[in-house]
Structure 1
């Protein structure tokens, strides 16, 4: 059995600025600035689950690293129905409606030039964002940016995907999917690699939203602290590893991948 880690990384960035003299000590000014930045940042769990009424996914892909689209061979459901169904479930039963928009065809996604890289640093990944991201979030609408690329993460080869966000959760999370790593799940079934890709995207969106204990508080004790913001439930989509067996057993006709523990975290989170 081969395990491939699904991880979330945090990218720390700092901004220095001068605004003239002040009677307040630098440490106090720093706290005030940080407080202001957090309160004005729409990309955080407490906003996603309070004022947001629409969520959409912006998907870009490097040439020759396009996401799988169309339908599954077995069952005939749309490949991207897995992600769509899981996002619909995340925002269900909240007493208000959230409009979810998930692309399902390459015509709804953006092709970017071949980057000709076999390995990526975090900074190199982040360099893609200002070049190719077209949408942004506010307090009523959220847009998550997902980028499909060739190659692998330099410091963690074999990782399938990463979600990178700003310091202390400030700034929009961006998901990077390494197509070469996804394709290692190719097997006898033509649907296997498609299932692995959709399970990966949904897992990373879980991180972007604040799972596990990364913005959405725990309702019960189920964080796998040894592996960071992951679930201890091996059958949950937020478990730290994705195995061949788990992909084989996944049925896109029953597309919800989050375990009850993570779903309880979401259902009981009312910021």
Structure 2
């Protein structure tokens, strides 16, 4: 079984999910932001799950690193329905409605110039936010920024995606997806494989952005894999630390919810 790594960079730690180490490289030390805890900051879990009534995803992609769009070959459903269904489920049964908007076509996303990089530092990734992010958030609406790029993270080569949150001045969490790493899940074995891997990755990172696991949304039960930071100990959960070939192979877009019951219970019982 081959494991592909997922990664989150949060306001309190840098977690290399490939090696299981939880370290803070010197290049990232400058991004620990105390403002994440300031009560006037709308970009935190306690706001997402109390006053926010709309959430949308702003997606940008480097030339030749565009997200997969259209329909799955086998299931026939829209590829981005996976992310949309999971976000809809996150805000279900709360006693109020949250309008979730997920783009599903490249015409709804923004192409940015090719950056001609094979490796990225955190500084270089964050430069893209100030240049290309168009939306912001407040106490009623939240917009997460997802950026697809070529290359890989210099300090953690081989990871699939990274979420940066709680950084002074960048607003809501930002997700960077490394297209070269996604394409390692090629479709030679079966159709839709790489598309499924990409959607599972995006949904996993959105889970981190919202506050899973124990990164803003408190635990309802003991299921945090502390060895791998803010990830779920349930190997079948979409918030498990790694994405395996077999897990992608068995995922069915017709049953698109990837979060395990433990994580869903965390969300359902979180009422800040």
Contact 1:44–1:170, Cα closer than 8 Å, also in 2: no
Report the equivalent of 2:254. 253
Report the equivalent of 1:85. 85
> Residues 87-106 of structure 1 correspond to what in structure 2 (within 5 A)?
87-106=87-106
Deviations 1:164-189 (A, max 9, x none): 11259994210000000000001322
Cα distance in 2 for partners of 1:35, 1:125 equals 20
Alpha-carbon shift at residue 37 of structure 1 (Å): 6.8
Who wins on radius of gyration, i.e. which is larger? 1
Does 2:31 match 1:13? Answer: yes
Contact 1:44–1:169, Cα closer than 8 Å, also in 2: no
Cα distance in 2 for partners of 1:269, 1:123 equals 33
- Could you say if the C-alpha distance between residues 41 and 110 of structure 1 is closer, same or farther in structure 2, counting changes exceeding 3 Å? same
The Cα RMSD (Å) is: 1.8
Q: TM-score, normalised by structure 2?
A: 0.90
Cα distance in 1 for partners of 2:92, 2:172 equals 23
Cα distance in 2 for partners of 1:102, 1:111 equals 16
Cα distance in 1 for partners of 2:250, 2:263 equals 20
Query: Any stretches of 5+ residues in structure 1 without a counterpart?
Result: 16-33
Report the equivalent of 2:126. 126
Contact 2:196–2:248, Cα closer than 8 Å, also in 1: yes
Q: TM-score, normalised by structure 1?
A: 0.90
Count of matched residue pairs: 253
Alpha-carbon shift at residue 35 of structure 1 (Å): 7.4
Report the equivalent of 1:224. 225
Contact 2:129–2:170, Cα closer than 8 Å, also in 1: no
Cα distance in 2 for partners of 1:168, 1:147 equals 19
Cα distance in 1 for partners of 2:172, 2:31 equals 13
Contact 1:41–1:170, Cα closer than 8 Å, also in 2: no
Report the equivalent of 1:190. 191
Aligned to 1:262, what secondary structure does the other structure show?
A: helix
Alpha-carbon shift at residue 13 of structure 1 (Å): 3.4
Report the equivalent of 2:270. 269
Cα distance in 2 for partners of 1:36, 1:84 equals 26
- Could you say if the C-alpha distance between residues 197 and 35 of structure 1 is closer, same or farther in structure 2, counting changes exceeding 3 Å? closer
Report the equivalent of 1:38. 38
